[in-house]
């Protein structure tokens, strides 16, 4: 538990030591008025805003540290629960779900692809801290610090077991969503994770009608299917699932010798408890070792196939970009230029841009999408290939233990374990 606090303290000190003009710069020069008008001096509460950002980072780091201690040392489901309620109130309802680690991956992506876009150190901290902690202690961020996960966790009343094949199949979608989110963020098209966040309307007590319905639907489903958004949608959860597989220490169900009572298996609403491996299964998998090598060799073909399939949709996907959408609209429906109620068209007509410039911009964006969809498809093909290979990798287990990628470190299984220290 020594490495993570050290990294956190260094990050906080480094951020606090930065001058204010680095963190808050005027992105555009002040306009020049020929009338002789002079802009008045505007006093903005930057110190207070920065203090709030520091407080958010400090609280997130504190939540992750405290949760790690509760999971690894204290082994207390009750305290994890109370901590998660406080996180929901603060990061969810007080901070209105923003800034959020889930959406921060879009900011990080755009900052890497667009040199003009500057991302704050607070966003970097919110993106990196949960991943760093997951490498050490598993998905402790999901356990108590993520408002999107906590609000679903609190509504579970009668969880039903999802068939394993359904759970694994739907578990592919977060990686597809991750690829699309990175693609749209890298091209400057949209932040789709934030746009379609199902719980932001609940946190902010107001949103578009379809988002309110979406959020309520997830909560209603969550009463019977544990954390449906986390398990089958969340793109940041896909990253945490991978990093948690390499966690140095992780939640353990029993503090001593497992008696195989199976109470932990029944207590987990997420299907994250893995059973002891039957010897028959181990020998059966070993007999099919040749298939493992075959599927490993097929991975490049899968990447190529998915890249081809996905890139064929680049024109359709690119239409989400405002310039591409507007260029297609004006070329295919020129009469829309007379529509005074179309704000997009009227804004373009009132700007200094020409039709040629708009078409050139749209063509350039479509070319970027062609490359981006190739890469996104190849990534999805890689994930699909690794998923197939994972079905032929069997690690002999003699006790019940959590799957490190699927476990949310909620502590329910620890509470149900009858074995005493």
Average pLDDT over residues 351-359: 91
* Residue 372 to residues 24, 109, 183, 308, 314, Cα–Cα distance (Å): 31, 13, 6, 12, 8
pLDDT tens digits, one per residue of 114-139 = 989 989 899 999 999 999 999 999 99
The DSSP result for 142-199, as a single string, is: IIII-HHHHHHHTT-SSPPPPPHHHHHHHTTHHHHHHHHHHHHHHTTS--HHHHT-TT
Residues 292, 217 share a domain: no
Does a structural domain hold residue 183?
yes
**Angle at which helices 46-69 and 121-137 cross, to 10°:** 0
3-state DSSP assignment of residue 75: coil
Higher pLDDT, 305 or 52: 305
Give residue 204's pLDDT. Answer: 87
Alpha helices for 25-146 (secondary structure H): 46-69, 77-87, 101-113, 121-137, 140
Does a structural domain hold residue 37?
no
The position carrying tokens 């969810």 is 92
5-14, 94-103, 144-153, 345-354: range with lowest mean pLDDT: 5-14
Residues 367, 227 share a domain: no
Cα 249 to Cα 241: distance, rounded to the nearest angstrom: 15
Residues 241, 192 share a domain: yes
Residues 219, 145 share a domain: yes
Does a structural domain hold residue 260?
no
Query: Would the pLDDT of 372 be above 90?
Result: yes
Does a structural domain hold residue 41?
no
How many beta carbons lie within 10 A of that of residue 393, not counting itself? 9
Task: Give 383's contacts (C-beta < 8 A, 6+ positions apart).
Answer: 172, 175
Cβ pair 183, 108 in contact under 8 A: no
Cα 332 to Cα 327: distance, rounded to the nearest angstrom: 8
Average pLDDT over residues 99-103: 90
Higher pLDDT, 96 or 153: 153
Give residue 20's pLDDT. Answer: 42
Give residue 41's pLDDT. Answer: 52
Residues 156, 292 share a domain: no
Does a structural domain hold residue 195?
yes
Residues 311, 232 share a domain: no
Does a structural domain hold residue 344?
yes
Residues 296, 237 share a domain: no
Query: Would the pLDDT of 307 be above 50?
Result: yes
The position carrying tokens 């109370």 is 82
Does a structural domain hold residue 212?
yes
Cα 332 to Cα 376: distance, rounded to the nearest angstrom: 29
Residues 304, 237 share a domain: no
Residues 138, 241 share a domain: yes
The DSSP result for 258-315, as a single string, is: -----HHHHH-TTS-EEPPPPHHHHHHHHHTHHHHHHHHHHHHHHHHHHHHHHHTTHH
Pairing type for strands 273-274 and 401-402 reads: antiparallel
How many beta carbons lie within 10 A of that of residue 332, not counting itself? 8
Residues 234, 88 share a domain: yes
Residues 312, 244 share a domain: no
Residues 230, 324 share a domain: no
pLDDT tens digits, one per residue of 166-185 = 998 899 999 999 999 999 99
How many structural domains is the chain composed of?
Answer: 2
Burial 340-363 (b: 16+ CB within 10 A, else e): eeeeebeebeeeeeeeeebbebbe
Cα 129 to Cα 12: distance, rounded to the nearest angstrom: 11
| pLDDT, mean over the chain | 85
What residue numbers bound the domain in which 385 lies?
Answer: 286-389
Does a structural domain hold residue 340?
yes
């Amino acid at each position: 538990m020594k490495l993570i606090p050290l990294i956190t303290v260094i990050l906080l000190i480094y951020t606090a030591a930065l001058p204010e003009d680095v963190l808050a710069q005027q992105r555009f020069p002040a306009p020049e008025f020929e009338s002789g008008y002079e802009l008045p001096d505007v006093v903005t509460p930057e110190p207070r805003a920065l203090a709030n950002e520091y407080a958010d980072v400090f609280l997130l780091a504190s939540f992750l540290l405290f949760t790690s201690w509760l999971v690894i040392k204290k082994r207390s489901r009750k305290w994890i629960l109370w901590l998660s309620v406080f996180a929901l109130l603060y990061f969810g309802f007080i901070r209105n779900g923003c800034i959020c680690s889930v959406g921060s991956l879009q900011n990080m992506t755009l900052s890497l692809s667009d040199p003009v876009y500057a991302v704050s150190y607070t966003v970097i901290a919110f993106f990196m801290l949960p991943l760093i902690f997951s490498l050490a202690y598993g998905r402790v961020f999901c356990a108590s610090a993520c408002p999107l996960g906590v609000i679903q966790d609190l509504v579970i009343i009668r969880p039903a077991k999802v068939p394993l094949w359904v759970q694994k199949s739907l578990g592919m979608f977060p990686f597809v969503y991750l690829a699309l989110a990175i693609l749209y963020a890298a091209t400057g098209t949209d932040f789709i994770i934030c746009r379609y966040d199902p719980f932001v309307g609940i946190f902010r007590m107001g949103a578009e009608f379809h988002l309110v319905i979406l959020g309520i639907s997830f909560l209603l489903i969550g009463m019977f299917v544990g954390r449906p958004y986390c398990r089958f949608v969340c793109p940041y959860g896909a990253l945490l699932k991978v990093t948690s597989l390499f966690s140095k220490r992780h939640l353990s169900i029993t503090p001593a010798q497992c008696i195989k009572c199976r109470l932990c298996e029944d207590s987990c609403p997420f299907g994250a408890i893995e059973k002891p491996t039957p010897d028959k299964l181990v020998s059966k998998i070993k007999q099919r070792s040749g298939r493992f090598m075959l599927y490993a060799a097929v991975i490049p073909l899968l990447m190529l196939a998915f890249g081809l399939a996905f890139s064929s949709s680049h024109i359709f996907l690119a239409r989400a970009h405002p310039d591409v959408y507007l260029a297609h609209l004006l070329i295919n429906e020129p009469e829309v230029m007379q529509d005074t109620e179309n704000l997009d068209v009227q804004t373009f007509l009132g700007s200094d841009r020409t039709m040629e410039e708009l078409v050139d911009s749209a063509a350039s964006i479509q070319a970027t999408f062609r490359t981006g969809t190739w890469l996104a498809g190849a990534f999805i093909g890689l994930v699909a290939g690794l998923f197939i290979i994972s079905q032929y990798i069997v690690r002999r287990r003699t006790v019940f233990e959590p799957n490190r990628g699927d476990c949310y470190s909620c502590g329910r299984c620890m509470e149900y374990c009858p074995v005493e220290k």
